[in-house]
Structure 1
Amino acid sequence: MGIAVLSAALLPALGAQTPPANEDESKVPPYVLPDPLVLADGRKVGDARTWKEKRRPELLRLFETHVYGRTPAGGPKRRFQVTKTDPSALGGRATRKDVAITFGDGAASRRMDLLVYVPNAPRAPVPVFLGLNFQRNDAVKWPVETIVDRGYGVASAFYGDLFPDRADGAGESVLTLFPARQGPDAWNAIGVWAWALSRALDYLETDRAVDAKRVALLGHSRLGKAALWAGAQDPRFAMVISNESGCGGAALSKRIYGETVAAITKQFPHWFCANFARYAGREAELPVDQHELLALIAPRPLYVASAVEDRWADPKGEFLAALGADPVYRRLGTDGLPAHEMPAVDQPVQGQIAYHVRSGGHDLADYDWRQYLAFADRHFPAGTAPRRR
């Protein structure tokens, strides 16, 4: 049956020793979050136009400079080739496509393999859940049959195709097809993984079975960081879902709770731009924090999810970041996050921003998927897509 499930639990080893973490709320230091609705010159953002034309570009530049690095414009030429099609996948309920996305030419080229499932009924182009996976395309732990039966497609690629997740992975990555990286704001693995998600969307825009204007971008853990950065940069993604993305993802850096800038940049020096490590132990000096990353997705639907036992990812910090993005969502005319206090465990709240903290530990669980499908049902109502031709 190929992939009936796509695996988030079988993560690459987290490595050796990690620095001691603060998991005591009473030891969170005082901190001040930058206001996402105040321009660099001190003026308030009073309307959607000022946000779009001035504040949003300012915040993107800050994240490029201090956290993720600059994503170069352009890039190598790319080719899409459907290498295999199975119209009777999942017991005849779906069509499976294996798509090779090739960058560059000859021996120097790089390739990302995209796995796509689309339901065989209805005949209208379908919305799709898109995300990278940890264990290659035939070992994914997404509930594909459930997703397809709800009327959604699935698209996924192995995250290591374009940047192997190692400190020395750059030499085997798609970066070899770009001009040499220079400076402490050069992009790195998370930037490449985010770029890969946009290139997957490029393919989906060519697939007539897919409604590319209704693509929900989802990522778990480190791939949640990549999903958020991709969604912040690329407004074509209609929805973004962060599942326990933690430090450098949805969790506030300035809280110094769970994984910190010092811990993550020491253990994974290849994920962020070099500038980010300069804030190890100096998080108060960061000119941005992750609530502003979430705000860059506004006004599109955003779901942030945590797990109560996943203290390393700082569930409260993830909720507070979602709450910190709320003023931007409301300034842009949506209902934002319908909660001012962190909800109880397994009690989701859903507005244009949604949040839940699930029972259990670090995983992409069936409970999470039930909430994401309900969220997509709300924002991608059936019958809104044109018929396939």
Structure 2
Amino acid sequence: MKIAFPYCLLLLCCFAGFKSQAQTFPSNNDESKVAAYTLPDVLKMPNGKQCANSREWMQVQRPYIFHLYEENQFGRFPSKKINIRYRLLETDKNALGGTATRKQVRIFLHPADSSVYTDLLLYIPNQVKGPVPVFLGYNFSGNHTVSTDNNIILGNRWVPSRARGAVNNRATEASRGADTASWQVSTILVKGFAIATAYYGDLEPDTAAGFMMGIRSSLKDVLNIQPNEWCAMGAWAWGLSLMVDYLQQDNSIDAHKIALLGHSRLGKAALWAGAADPRFALIVSNESGEGGAAISRRWYGETLQIINAHFPHWFAAKYKTYGDNVNALPVDAHMLLSLMAPRPLYVASAVEDTWSDPKGEFLSAKEASKVYALFGKKGIDADSMPALQQQVGGTVRYHIRAGKHAVTLYDWEQYLQFASEQFR
């Protein structure tokens, strides 16, 4: 079988990543060992002048920074609009004991190949009349894991072997409800918000060779983008934008109040989606860490070098070239967060999740607040991290809670309060 050159190049990068996993890269969890660093100036425009107002930000500086991210971390974000189709697979107006309407929608991503799709699970609160705000986010192992609702269609796509109930990388009945703790469905519905979720592996399986089974291969001719011109994070982020296309035409959803949430690696994808698509009205980064909300130049927790060694498919090839010299990277996390402005942004950490560098996440949110100030928006002005379980900030908000790397009830309570406040 002949393999096109771009595939060969990408496979070589993947195998190089696998080889590098055998190497041991230093990491650090001691704050006293974090060396001094200098962040790129988020307000310094290409002409060397300081961005002075919101107009200059939107017309000059924001496009410039977005391009830097395409060039150095995520690769191209598809700009071509494609004609996607939807099929309502199932609906129930009395789901979850009558508290919600459940919809399961298949979104076909290829104009001529019905095998290229993602399934969106949607719960809409029945107690609210009229269009409702929605939280959209990926799940890690299939829609059937977010609730014990046995009517959720059991996915048949590849899932990680670590997923509960998985047999030969496929979900089983034992997988149902495996991640209900991360999706506080009843709490979200009671607050008047809908929930929309899809399995990120529908877009691209999370393996180094997953691109061969994902949309970077199946849609390369449709989008006119070769697989090596973007990355898994880009594929997952773009998929979120396609889900917005559906949500905006669903009359039960308030198209102007679509909140995007991502946890861990999916927090990185959510931030890139939020940067690329202004239709996300509010963005939440839950412990997204390196490559997401945490400052890469801080030698603490997971590093750029480590993440690229362990997950060579997550980011564009050029991002790997900065492993030995992170200071040469022309962007850092505060600049990614700044691309959300002026929309509400919530960044959250957990005190035991040192791998995600909570302080680095706080500092980047504080630094991004400079951009929000251009719009007259209050960001984070605190000089030090807040106490546990305490919010700080305004349109840019931050908290660090007790516990480990997870999405908890406490986190959801803060996000729902924040969204309710911002969506008034």
Q: TM-score, normalised by structure 2?
A: 0.84
Of Structure 1 and Structure 2, the greater helix share is in 2
| 1:294 equivalent in alignment to 2:337 | yes
Q: Which residue of 2 aligns with 1:236?
A: 279
User: Corresponding residue for 2:230?
Assistant: 187
Match of 2:44 in 1: 38
Provide the residue aligned with 2:67 in structure 1: 61
Letter in 1 for 2:74: Y
Q: Once the 2 structures are TM-superposed, how far is the Cα of residue 181 of structure 1 from its aligned partner?
A: 4.8
1:166 aligns with 2:207: yes
Name the CA shift for 1:45/1:82 in 2 (closer, same or farther; >3 Å).
same
Once structures 1 and 2 are overlaid, which stretch shifts more, 117-126 or 245-254?
A: 117-126
Question: How many angstroms does 1:182 deviate by?
Answer: 5.2
CA RMSD in angstroms comes to: 1.6
Is 1:143 aligned to 2:149, yes or no?
Answer: no
Q: Does 1:134 align with 2:176?
A: no
Where 2:380 maps in the other structure, the secondary structure is: coil
Deviation of 1:27 after TM superposition, in Å, equals 1.3
Aligned-pair distance for 1:178?
A: 1.7
**Of 196, 199, 202, which aligns to 1:155?**
196
Does residue 342 of structure 2 align to residue 336 of structure 1? no
Q: 2:211 touches 2:227 (CA, 8 Å); kept in 1? A: no
Quote the residue 1:270 is aligned against.
313
In 1, distance between residues paired with 2:226 and 2:35? Answer: 35
For residues 350-389 of structure 1, the aligned pairs below 5 Å read 350-381=393-424
Q: Contact 1:18/1:267 (CA < 8 Å) preserved in 2? A: no
- Which deviations, in whole Å up to 9, do the C-alpha atoms of 1:304-323 show, x marking residues without a partner? 00000100000000000001
Task: Show the counterpart of 1:319.
Answer: 362
Q: Which letter does structure 2 place at the counterpart of 1:162?
A: L
Are 2:302 and 2:356, in contact at CA under 8 Å, matched by a contact in 1? yes
Asked if the contact 1:350/1:375 (under 8 Å) is kept, the reply is no
From 26, 47, 66, the counterpart of 2:32: 26
Task: Sort the Cα spacing of 1:263 and 1:147 in 2 relative to 1 into closer, same or farther, 3 A.
Answer: same
Structure 1 range deviating more: 55-64 or 118-127: 118-127
Q: Distance in 2 between matches of 1:38 and 1:127?
A: 36
Aligned to 1:253: 296
Q: Secondary structure at the match of 1:288?
A: coil
Task: Tell whether 2:285 aligns with 1:285.
Answer: no
2:365 is aligned with what amino acid? A
Distance between the aligned counterparts of 1:233 and 1:296, measured in 2? 8
Deviation string, structure 1 residues 327-352 (Cα, Å, up to 9, x no partner): 10011110112422111111121410
Aligned partners of 1:338 and 1:351 also within 8 Å:
no
Q: Distance in 2 between matches of 1:285 and 1:316?
A: 22
Report deviation, 1:77. 2.9
Select which of 180, 202, 212 maps to 2:255. 212
Q: Please give the secondary structure, in 1, of the residue aligned with 2:144.
A: coil
Once the two structures are TM-superposed, the CA of residue 20 in structure 1 deviates from its matched residue by 3.8
Unaligned runs of 5+ in 1: 1-14, 382-389
Letter in 1 for 2:220: F
Using a 3 Å threshold, how does the CA distance of structure 1 residues 100 and 182 change in structure 2: closer, same or farther? Answer: closer
Aligned residues: 366
Equivalent in the alignment of 2:14: none
Provide the C-alpha distance between the structure 2 equivalents of 1:30 and 1:138, rounded to a whole number of angstroms.
Answer: 46
Identical counterparts, % of pairs:
51
Match in the other structure for 2:6: none
Query: In structure 1, how many angstroms separate the alpha carbons of the residues matched to 2:100 and 2:382?
Result: 38
Give the alignment's TM-score, normalised by structure 1. Answer: 0.91
